Structure 1
């Protein structure tokens, strides 16, 4: 569900010329990474991905820190979901309905095909520019200006009509994926109704869809209801275990992203449920009250002493409150129970380093390499591994790890500089040297483009 768009006419040219606008929000927003949340997103999306004929190993669902209710695709096989959508959702089915819709964009190749809509709209606009300019040159200034405005309006309408077709196509594809996966479409319908109610609450109730990127909510609900109610899966029940996991994940996310006072109002001390303890633990931790946060973490562990995510939480609180030695038992057990989940493993490696005990450094190197072998897209893990290499006196590989980190963070200048340092100290032709060269070669043209634009990495 890419966000609704009501564009002023003056923005049309910029929209049609630069489709990077579809990708820029990803770079501008923070990616939220959490082992428990990612495992749940993977589990609920897997049957939909398979129903769509895609390989689950190649499809990612990424959570972004953004409180708006939105989800989108921006090329490749990645679905981006805003944190605001998860906190607004009532159940797993709603999130699955959104994921199914976005996968419909992926299978339809809609991002790639966006150029088709732009080409047609640009043609209309350029023609109006030529005719309008000719009229102005002939002395009919007012008429020429009118032609320019009409041409822009027609171009905008043509482009938005194209996007509405894509959205309707993604709706239909998503409905078919849910049906094939045996997942009820009630969540998809309920989510669109939620959007419709939100629009009405804020006084946004357009009579027609001419200037909308999406079909009107009421149109979508009517169309999808007729399709989804015929599905054999309409009355299918969601696995209760998934709903329990969703309640936990939603609570911990709210504890992390909402104002702590709001969290305490929503989850008062009288609420002794697992989600409430989760939310308050994160809210207290963010507010720098480690004792209260640990009390909530211990309450969670009292319900499930070997829950890896409760152990991870307590270990994180201890580590980030300056007690890395005390955090080791919890983080070691959480790492083992999750079969070395890369995010939890990287946190464990960080705790080992934070003890400042050289006896822990060999284990830290081992677990950090394990984390990176499973997930080499984690800048934090590369940063920690760079510290280990630095402590060992291996400056060349410390530079390589730092180059990996900055390459992932999009800092071309520092990635370039560190890759160059790594190449100078690593045996030429070795795998590490080749990797440093790859980063160097990728960063160099990117750095040149930034310099040409007058940009600089910070």
Structure 2
């Protein structure tokens, strides 16, 4: 019976491992998202997709990784941005992940998992039969061999997918006229990482991995890259400049201020250094220092919307909402109501506590949610506007939108019902309240089924 218990326990763990799940927070920044979109668009077009058809999402995770999880969306870890030295390296990663998208690898992932699970189940049944016949050692041996075969099958499947994505990514870079130098350089970084961790570069080691060894990938890709007409095409210098800025900005946002100021000392006066220091000073509540850095940035580029956004953010967070309006208004204007910047302006307008700004706040926030409905912060601010204007049904509808996106379907259902009861029947907002209620009920049912 103990042997059977071991087999069933191992089988349960195997089944759980076939359905991995991870929750990571998303980092949202207008400048970073625009750069990543501009980097992936030519690759998407080379793959036969339209501009803007593939979305890149930045995750707050220091590991060096990127992945797809269904649909036309690529997830990039912040650690990958930190590890890359050039925009071209990141484009190489995006091209590879696009290969997964176009290959339908996430949809086909279940094929590999199903085959592995089938082998595991068959070996478990054979092991149970041996155990019931009184041969405990044979039972454990059969099950162990079955697990090894299942894992080997699954790893072979994933390595094949990775090699396919590498080849597809190389083709997309070529068709877009983008050099593969960055792709090879990033693989060399990964290879050095493998060396530092003492990972053997043997075939036996590769057989036990989900991905081919970086050395194998370099060997498979180098000749094709070097023969490609795009090999000697210089990377886009403007894109590289933008990459260096968002990399420094991300560092300043994530790192401890002392570490940021050590990496970007005050004698460094370039844009990346000032960007990073501005975030570090703001985190330390050294507002005058932070504003001095942003003012220096704006002096260099007066119409850079992201420098203006940062100045407005620093002023708003330091309680100077009225002063924040001027740079934020200009930033919103320059970005055509960017859905990440406009809510900050709406927040600043409300923070002044001046009723004269309510109409402008409503206009700005409605434009923001019109371009990006999946922004709970914007919906919350819009609900505040409606509440202050006495439009309580729409305030409750905005709350329902915010609650459904924040994972609170029961509160969303109540808010949506209240909004529907108070809104004119047949209007777009009345219909939307019904839609949110239906979505909330579906979420509640799924939660109840999970127990």
State the TM-score, normalizing by the size of structure 2: 0.94
Among 224, 230, 243, the residue aligned to 2:221: 224
The answer as to whether partners of 1:9 and 1:153 remain within 8 angstroms in 2 is: no
Structure 1 residue 206, shift from structure 2 partner: 5.2
Does residue 86 of the first structure (1) align with residue 72 of the second (2)? no
Cα distance between partner residues in 1 of 2:127 and 2:11: 16
Within a 5 Å distance, the mapping from 1:111-126 to structure 2 comes to 111-126=106-121
Specify every segment of 5 or more residues in structure 1 that has no aligned partner in the other structure, as ranges.
Answer: 1-7
Aligned equivalent of 1:148: 143
Specify every segment of 5 or more residues in structure 2 that has no aligned partner in the other structure, as ranges.
Answer: 1-9
Does residue 160 of the first structure (1) align with residue 162 of the second (2)? no
**SS in structure 2 of the partner of residue 57 of structure 1:** coil
Aligned equivalent of 2:4: none
Cα distance between partner residues in 2 of 1:199 and 1:428: 63
**SS in structure 2 of the partner of residue 343 of structure 1:** coil
Aligned equivalent of 2:125: 130
Q: Assess, with a 3 A threshold, how the Cα gap between structure 1 residues 206 and 15 changes in structure 2: closer, same or farther.
A: farther
**SS in structure 1 of the partner of residue 75 of structure 2:** strand
Cα distance between partner residues in 1 of 2:189 and 2:385: 49
CA deviation profile, 1:402-432 (whole Å, cap 9, x unmatched): 1111222333233222222222222333221
Cα distance between partner residues in 1 of 2:45 and 2:11: 41
CA deviation profile, 1:258-309 (whole Å, cap 9, x unmatched): 1111111110111111110000001111222222211111111121222211
**SS in structure 2 of the partner of residue 80 of structure 1:** strand
Aligned equivalent of 1:43: 38
Among 362, 372, 379, the residue aligned to 1:365: 362
Aligned equivalent of 1:395: 392
State the TM-score, normalizing by the size of structure 1: 0.93
CA deviation profile, 1:39-66 (whole Å, cap 9, x unmatched): 1111111110100111223210111111
Cα distance between partner residues in 2 of 1:285 and 1:72: 32
Cα distance between partner residues in 2 of 1:110 and 1:281: 42
**SS in structure 1 of the partner of residue 227 of structure 2:** coil
**SS in structure 2 of the partner of residue 113 of structure 1:** helix
Cα distance between partner residues in 1 of 2:11 and 2:155: 12
Aligned CA RMSD, in angstroms, stands at: 1.5
Does residue 414 of the first structure (1) align with residue 411 of the second (2)? yes
**SS in structure 1 of the partner of residue 76 of structure 2:** strand
Within a 5 Å distance, the mapping from 1:35-434 to structure 2 comes to 35-205=30-200, 207=202, 208-434=205-431
CA deviation profile, 1:358-387 (whole Å, cap 9, x unmatched): 000100100111111112121111111111
**SS in structure 2 of the partner of residue 306 of structure 1:** coil
Aligned equivalent of 1:441: 438
Structure 1 residue 11, shift from structure 2 partner: 4.4
Cα distance between partner residues in 1 of 2:201 and 2:388: 62
The answer as to whether partners of 1:9 and 1:152 remain within 8 angstroms in 2 is: no
Among 14, 17, 40, the residue aligned to 1:15: 17
The answer as to whether partners of 2:66 and 2:76 remain within 8 angstroms in 1 is: yes
Q: Assess, with a 3 A threshold, how the Cα gap between structure 1 residues 110 and 282 changes in structure 2: closer, same or farther.
A: same
Structure 1 residue 357, shift from structure 2 partner: 0.2
**SS in structure 2 of the partner of residue 95 of structure 1:** helix
Q: Assess, with a 3 A threshold, how the Cα gap between structure 1 residues 9 and 176 changes in structure 2: closer, same or farther.
A: farther
Cα distance between partner residues in 1 of 2:412 and 2:103: 35
